[in-house]
Structure 1
Amino acid sequence: MSFLVGVALAVLLITFLIIIRLYVVVKNGSSYHPGAKGAVTVLVVAGSGGHTTEILRLMECLSEAYTPRHYVIADTDRMSEEKINTFESSKQHSKESQFTICRIPRSREVHQSWGSSVISTLNALRYSFPLVFRLRPDMVLCNGPGTCVPLCVAGLLLGILGMKKVLIVYVESVCRVETLSLTGKIIYCISDYFFVQWPSLRNIYPKSIFLGRIV
Structure 2
Amino acid sequence: MDTQFMIEFGFLIVALLITRVLYLVHKVTTGFSKYTNHPRKNPCKTVICIGSGGHTTEMIALIQNLDFNKYSPRYYVMASNDETSEIKIKNLENEKSDKLDYSVIKIPRSRIVGQSYISSIFSTVYSIIYCIPIVFKIRPDLNLCNGPGTCIPICIITFLFNCAFLASTKIVFIESICRTESFSLSGKILIYFADNFLVQWPSLKKKLKRAEYIGKLV
Question: Which range, TM-score by smaller chain?
Answer: 0.7 to 0.9
CA distance in 2, matches of 1:209, 1:168: 14
Q: How does 1:154-169 map to 2 (within 5 A)?
A: 154-169=157-172
Structure 1: runs of 5 or more not aligned: 1-15
TM-score normalized with structure 1 length: 0.85
Q: Residue 44 in 1 paired to residue 51 in 2? A: no
Aligned pair 1:74/2:89, yes or no? no
Once the two structures are overlaid, the 10-residue window that deviates more, 194-203 or 205-214, is 205-214
Contact 1:34 1:40 in 2 (8 A): no
In 2, Cα distance between equivalents of 1:47 and 1:175: 14
TM-score with structure 2 setting the length: 0.84
2-structure distance, mates of 1:151, 1:30: 19
* Distance change (3 Å), C-alpha of 1:125 and 1:166: same
Residue by residue over 1:124-145, the C-alpha shift from the partner in whole angstroms, topping out at 9 and shown as x without a partner, is 0011111011011101100010
Superposition misfits of 4+ residues, deviation over 4 angstroms: 23-26, 28-31
From the CA coordinates, give the structure whose radius of gyration is larger: 2
Superposition pairs of residues 134-213 of structure 1, within 5 angstroms: 134-213=137-216
Task: Name the CA distance, whole Å, in 2 between partners of 1:45 and 1:194.
Answer: 15
Whole-angstrom distance in 1 between the partners of 2:38 and 2:92: 24
The correspondence of residues 68-107 of structure 1 with structure 2, limited to 5 A, is: 68-91=73-96, 93-94=97-98, 96-107=99-110
The letter of the residue matching 1:86 is: N
Deviation at 1:63, TM superposition (A): 1.1
Out of 114, 117, 122, the residue aligned to residue 119 of structure 1 is: 122
Determine what percentage of the aligned residue pairs are the same residue: 39
Contact 2:33-2:195 at 8 Å conserved across structures: no
Q: 1:62 corresponds to which letter in structure 2?
A: L
Question: What SS does the aligned partner of 1:66 have?
Answer: coil
Distance 1:169 1:99 in 2: 19
